[in-house]
Amino acid sequence: MARKLFCEINPLTYKISAEKEIFKRRIKDLCKNLFSNIKLAKTKSNEMLPVLIKTHKSLIRRKFNNVNMHLQENKAKSLSIAAPKITGILIKPKETFSFWTLVGRTSKKKGYLEGVVISNGKPSSGIGGGMCQFTNLLHWMILHTDLEITEHHHHNGLDLFPDFKRQIPFGAGTSIVHNYLDYRAKNNTDKTYQIIVYTTDEYLCGEIRCTEPLDVKIHIREEEAYFYELDGEMIRHNKIYKKVIDKSTGNTVYDKLLLENNAKVMYDKEFINKAMIKPQSEMLN
């Protein structure tokens, strides 16, 4: 049997480990701010910038047999608390957007409730759980801009929920933990961007706006999407590409693979589209 890590011994050691990482991140950010001249976006505006670049919304509650609806309701509350901390933020030239800098610690004292989190590679629960849905939405919109994503932790180890009104490719999301796993994007252009985000009864809604139109068209696509069995477990596979086209010439600037997912399926096989299951014989060829 493999020896347990300190953070895996019990909830107390996990909390100690987490606080250690939070402290390390604060020191790291302090050093970067002092010596690397990183300027974080902190200015908000109630007036929306004129050009809409991308809009998106994601369903807050997923209704399936394996989903704890109490945690889903809690997530809805937590998202409604976090959204006003982001909406209206301006990302000016040379500024960096930082999710945790704006949202801060998702504590019970601030009204955040217990939601789904990933702990030691397994689904669990914790205060403020579900915030990854927020950064998933932000990441999808930012992928459709010329902002440079400077911190992104791939969220592809587990496939927690069956597809239900899914609008974006599986795995095109982020993993975040306050504050040492952040989501950040830097504006290296001469334009100013703005993020608008809010919740309704059903959806987390977002817009990314700009002072002027982009010179390119951006398409994100999924290829080789299927499920397969490995050592008795179902695995979900896909590849996600980003294609950028120059509007003035119609020429492709680049078409590149962003990521490849191989995620363990955490729900019953009956919820998988049978047409997407690849026989093991094909996997061996």
Q: Is the peptide bond before 179 cis (omega within 30 degrees of 0)?
A: yes
The greatest distance separating any two alpha carbons of the chain, rounded to the nearest whole angstrom, comes to: 61
Amino acid at 1: M
CA 225, 231, 234, 236 dihedral sign is negative
3-state percent breakdown (helix, strand, coil) of the chain, nearest 5: 25, 35, 35
Burial category of 271 from C-beta neighbours within 10 Å (exposed 0-12, middle 13-18, buried 19 and up): middle
Assigned token pair, 174: 């982020």
Element (H, E) at 184: strand 184-186
Written as tens digits, the pLDDT of the chain (285 aa) is 556 655 556 666 656 676 667 667 667 766 666 666 789 999 999 999 999 999 999 999 877 656 678 888 999 999 999 999 999 999 999 999 999 999 999 999 999 999 888 766 667 788 888 899 999 999 999 999 999 999 999 877 888 878 877 778 998 888 898 877 899 999 999 999 999 999 999 999 999 999 999 999 999 999 999 999 998 899 999 999 999 999 999 999 999 999 999 999 988 888 888 888 888 656 655
- R_g of the chain, CA atoms, integer Å: 20
Amino acid at 33: N
